[in-house]
Structure 1
Amino acid sequence: MTDARERLLQVRNLQLHYRTRRGTARAVDGVDLDVGRNEALVVLGESGSGKSSLAKALMRLLPRNVARYSGQVMLGGDELMGMDDERFRSGVQWNRIAMVMQAAMNALNPVVRVGEQVAEPLRVHRGWSKAAAMERVVETFAIVGVSRDFVTRYPFELSGGMRQRVVLAMALITEPELVILDEPTSALDVLTQASIMNVLKRIKREQGTSFILITHDVATSSELADRVALMYAGQVVEQSDARDFFHHPAHPYSKLLMDSVPRLHQSEPPGYIPGEPPDLIDPPAGCRFADRCPSRFGRCSEDPPAFELNGERRVRCWLHEEGTDHDG
């Protein structure tokens, strides 16, 4: 895994469960992951796998129906879970960790100029004057590729791609160490998606910012990823170097996911993942992917730990237990 000296974020046994009328939904259920400094971690998974809930847990943007919120989150050596809400809001949230939420570009206030909206975190969290904040807005707009002329425009005067860049500028305005992006390109056309990903790569290279990119788009995410964490039913089932994940997936779910991605000059149609994800209110005992897994064997009735492979990859699958009888 990422060397401890270079590690920015360390998450261990993070849990976020919700109360519902049917019971408790285990949206994030014992997640472990690491993000290095100047590193992009892509979190992949089907809809309902817990990706957005993971982001909310890290940002402490919790709904009222939380049944359980626990675990360990270390940011640059500081333990976050033990911080009271006021200290977290003033020192971490939107300062050291910022987030671009899903469909955030549609959440811009239509009657407030975009420059004022981007400046707001500096004025609210840092107490900056309006003049100083607006000067920083112009600098940040340059970083994300937006002309200073757009500072005085309203959101409806901007294209979808420009609005997304403005929202990204809002996340970057406080110069956070880590930016979480939840499906940042899902509502954009292919060319605009590529443009936004190029902006993110440049920011990572020039500013040294770390990213967690949450998406279900394998092809787009591969452009930015240094590492990949694959979520399934509230758990991370594989975390590895991006090159290894995309070319040599280790978990059966990872293999099926990669087989489902269309490729140029592919002679056969893409594969598919049979069945449906389990109900997070009543997940199956043992491996949660077992009912859909073509490699299922007897040991899968037990919940697998995350096996460490070559010190760089963790895979939550009994197939990677040394000495396992796969015919059991």
Structure 2
Amino acid sequence: MGDAPLLRVDDLQLHYQTRQGVVHAVDGIDFELKRNEALVVLGESGCGKSSLAKALMRVLPRNVHHQGGRVHLGDTELTALSDERFRREVQWSRMALVMQASMNALNPVVKVGEQVAEPLRVLRRWPRRQALARAAEVFALVGISTDFMTRYPFELSGGMRQRAVLAMALVAEPELVILDEPTSALDVLTQASIMNALKRVKRELGTSFILITHDVATSSELADRVALMYAGQLVEVSDAERFFSDPAHPYSQMLMASVPKLRQRSRPQAIPGQPPSLFEPPAGCRFAARCPHRFAACSRDPRAIRLAERHRVRCWLHDDTQAGGGA
């Protein structure tokens, strides 16, 4: 396969129809993901992160107003597949999703081991004994004793339930796992334990991850690359080391300045203002109203500027044609 990306997303769009109007939740997103790579999608609540996961996995509500763009997984154009082919050939077997709120993702009246084995029994028609044996292997991989396979979800702690849902996503050995806020309701020690389990899976199975979160500190443990989302768009996509040490977009810089750090003399700085409404996104740069560097060009929608290999930023400050116009 060489350096060909595992996942390529071009101009992805997902809009919802509501009583108040059309929500532009995902509005023209482009990125690539390599094999055995972890991409962290960061952003404030309501910026469209979870809608991005739903668009990729086709876990869509009934009120979709518009859906567009192209998604390639390896050599397969997913957007060209029918819903039935996508369900049969891609969901769980090649690409899996770990949703928020693990308790809601588990059937309360079915034993956990049976639920983890279910994708193999449904998609691959494995006999029950073989599927449960594979489930036991994945339980060990994510750090759960096989004793928990015969328990019901309510008998597990929050951290154990989250591991069980992760095991369910991994049981069919998909190439890509999307995790939507997998540690948001867990204590700090459990969060660290879950992140260690993910790193172990990435190392031993070569699985690629898209981790959707608003937690900068936790995400840095797993990230190879970072995509920062704002008001339905990606404003910066960068290697993790570069993003955390030298972010380029003003929103990225302000976000990193808001994160507490050890041995830091200055206090964390809050980002002023509020994100724009996704019902009527503003013309031009969507961060302009909160940006201390805004200038005349910001009234126009910025294009993605390539700063380095696999580093793009959506900001007029980095466009040579606008030199001298910014701060």
TM range (shorter): over 0.9
Indicate yes or no: 2:82 matched with 1:84. yes
Q: Which residue of the other structure, out of 304, 307, 310, is the alignment partner of 2:305?
A: 307
Q: Which residue of 1 aligns with 2:30?
A: 32
Q: Which residue of 2 aligns with 1:247?
A: 245
What RMSD, in angstroms, separates the aligned Cα atoms of the two structures? 1.2
Q: Write the deviation string for residues 29-70 of structure 1: whole angstroms up to 9, x where unpaired.
A: 000011110000000000011000000000011111111111
> Counterparts of 1:171-210 in structure 2 under 5 Å?
171-210=169-208
- Tell me the distance in 2 between the aligned counterparts of 1:326 and 1:158: 59
Q: Which residue of the other structure, out of 223, 227, 238, is the alignment partner of 1:225?
A: 223
Q: Which residue of the other structure, out of 152, 155, 164, is the alignment partner of 1:154?
A: 152
Whether the 8 Å CA contact 1:297–1:326 is kept in 2: the answer is no
The alignment partner of 2:29 has SS state of: strand
The alignment partner of 1:7 has SS state of: coil
> Counterparts of 1:209-288 in structure 2 under 5 Å?
209-288=207-286
Whether the 8 Å CA contact 2:105–2:165 is kept in 1: the answer is no
Whether the 8 Å CA contact 1:18–1:67 is kept in 2: the answer is yes
Return 5+ residue gaps in structure 2 as ranges: none
Q: Write the deviation string for residues 278-328 of structure 1: whole angstroms up to 9, x where unpaired.
A: 011101100000000011011000000100112220100001101423436
Q: Which amino acid aligns with 1:322?
A: D
The alignment partner of 1:81 has SS state of: helix
Closer, same or farther: CA 130–143 of 1 in aligned 2, 3 Å: same
Q: Which amino acid aligns with 1:265?
A: R
Q: Which residue of 1 aligns with 2:141?
A: 143
- Tell me the distance in 2 between the aligned counterparts of 1:223 and 1:123: 34
Closer, same or farther: CA 4–57 of 1 in aligned 2, 3 Å: farther
Q: Which residue of 2 aligns with 1:324?
A: 322
- Cα deviation for residue 94 of structure 1 reads 1.4
Indicate yes or no: 2:58 matched with 1:45. no
Q: Write the deviation string for residues 84-110 of structure 1: whole angstroms up to 9, x where unpaired.
A: 111000000111000000112343222
Q: Which residue of 2 aligns with 1:108?
A: 106
Deviating beyond 6 angstroms after TM superposition, the runs of 4 or more aligned structure 1 residues are none
Q: Which moved more, 1:318-327 or 1:56-65?
A: 318-327
Count of paired positions: 326
- Tell me the distance in 1 between the aligned counterparts of 2:174 and 2:262: 38
Whether the 8 Å CA contact 1:17–1:67 is kept in 2: the answer is yes
Q: Which moved more, 1:318-327 or 1:21-30?
A: 318-327
The alignment partner of 2:255 has SS state of: helix
Q: Which amino acid aligns with 1:135?
A: A
Return 5+ residue gaps in structure 1 as ranges: none
Q: Write the deviation string for residues 80-134 of structure 1: whole angstroms up to 9, x where unpaired.
A: 1011111000000111000000112343222211001111111111111111111
Q: Write the deviation string for residues 230-254 of structure 1: whole angstroms up to 9, x where unpaired.
A: 0000000000000000000000000
- Tell me the distance in 1 between the aligned counterparts of 2:299 and 2:70: 28
Q: Write the deviation string for residues 152-195 of structure 1: whole angstroms up to 9, x where unpaired.
A: 11112211111111110000011000000000000100000000
Q: Which residue of 2 aligns with 1:20?
A: 18
Q: Percentage identity across aligned positions?
A: 70
- Tell me the distance in 1 between the aligned counterparts of 2:144 and 2:4: 32
Indicate yes or no: 2:81 matched with 1:67. no
- Tell me the distance in 2 between the aligned counterparts of 1:160 and 1:299: 48
